[in-house]
Amino acid sequence: MSPTSPIRGHRGVSRARRMALTSELLSRLDDGDEDRRDVEDEIIRLNLVVATQEARRYERRGIDAEDLRQVAYLALVKAVRRYDAELANDFLGYVVPCIRGELRRWFRDAGWVVRPPRSVQELQARITGVAEELTQELGRSPRPSDIAARLGVPTERVEEAVSAHAGYSVDSLDAVADDSERPLAASLVHHEPGFGQVEARTVVAPAVRRLGTREQHILELRYLHDATQDEIGAAVGVTQAQVSRLMSGINRQLHGDLSPRDDGPGSLSPAV
């Protein structure tokens, strides 16, 4: 291990120490006595913390944190492989924008469940950076009007872009919707009583049609007009006691017609 090489994994290395070590390693990139790929690998390991920090800036937006870190690590690797000290003498000034660019492209290409217009995506990315600056300056979370003023765009456009965060992910229907511990799917169900009535009529109608005319009239008076047995008796010309016996017979016949027969599933017994 060379005097300037930190421990394996570079954990616990301060920012100043990391920058010094990175600078020393960069100076050895074109040293003919060392393999350039080995030096690049050491620079990458040393600066993985930078990629991790950039990935954290994009967490809690509906994308798995591990996926974000992998995108940032890959961006770091590509940036180190392409780095040319003659063209860019500020290593972090070159690497950090590369990592952020990869993360933003990842969100643009793979992070949206419902994809908004490109202009909204681009504005949302600008809002993220400005919001952090304004939070430090104002000592509070910036309002949409604060962000709009800084970016020079209408407040309505900022509100639209902020709401686009919901397009990154959707809630599972198995997720608990509220304190009732009911899944979200249960809260989306709407029970329409009319459907039950239609289903009941579809099932019962054939059995009712097998009744006699008087029995059908009695059912109509009882269940559609809510008539009493006395009122039904007066309407069909029988006593209240006779109405009671007729109703019992009607119910037995309907029950028999609507009950499955023993000789086949779903079969109906013949009318009594």
Q: Which domains does the chain have, with CATH numbers?
A: 1-111 (no CATH), 114-168 (1.10.10.10), 193-258 (1.10.10.10)
Give the mean model confidence (pLDDT) for residues 33-57: 90
What percentage of the chain carries pLDDT values higher than 70?
72
- Specify the pLDDT at position 45: 93
Q: Which residue has the tokens 């940036």?
A: 79
Beta bridge pairs of residue 268: 260
Beta bridge pairs of residue 4: none
Give the mean model confidence (pLDDT) for residues 249-263: 78
- Specify the pLDDT at position 53: 92
- Specify the pLDDT at position 73: 95
pTM of the model: 0.43
Rounded distance between C-alpha atoms, residue 100 and residue 105, angstroms: 9
Q: How many CA atoms lie within 13 A of 109 on its CB side?
A: 7
Q: 266 falls in which pLDDT band (50, 70, 90)?
A: very low
- Of residues 196 and 154, more confidence is placed in 154
Backbone angles phi and psi of 22, in degrees to 5: -60, -45
By three-state DSSP, how is residue 57 classified?
coil
What percentage of the chain carries pLDDT values higher than 90?
21
Residue 119 scores a pLDDT above 80? no
pLDDT tens, position by position, 189-245: 556 666 666 777 788 888 888 888 999 889 888 888 888 999 999 998 999 999 999
DSSP string, 151-204: HTS-HHHHHHHHHGGGGG----TTSB-STT--BHHHHT----HHHHHHHHHHHH
Rounded distance between C-alpha atoms, residue 4 and residue 19, angstroms: 12
| Strand extents, DSSP E, the chain | none
Amino acid making up residue 199: E
Q: Which residues, at least 6 apart from 209, have a Cβ–Cβ distance to it below 8 Å? A: 216
Beta bridge pairs of residue 158: none
- Specify the pLDDT at position 105: 79
3-7, 106-110, 160-164, 246-250: range with highest mean pLDDT: 246-250
Q: Do 124 and 166 form a contact (C-beta atoms < 8 A)?
A: no
- Specify the pLDDT at position 78: 92
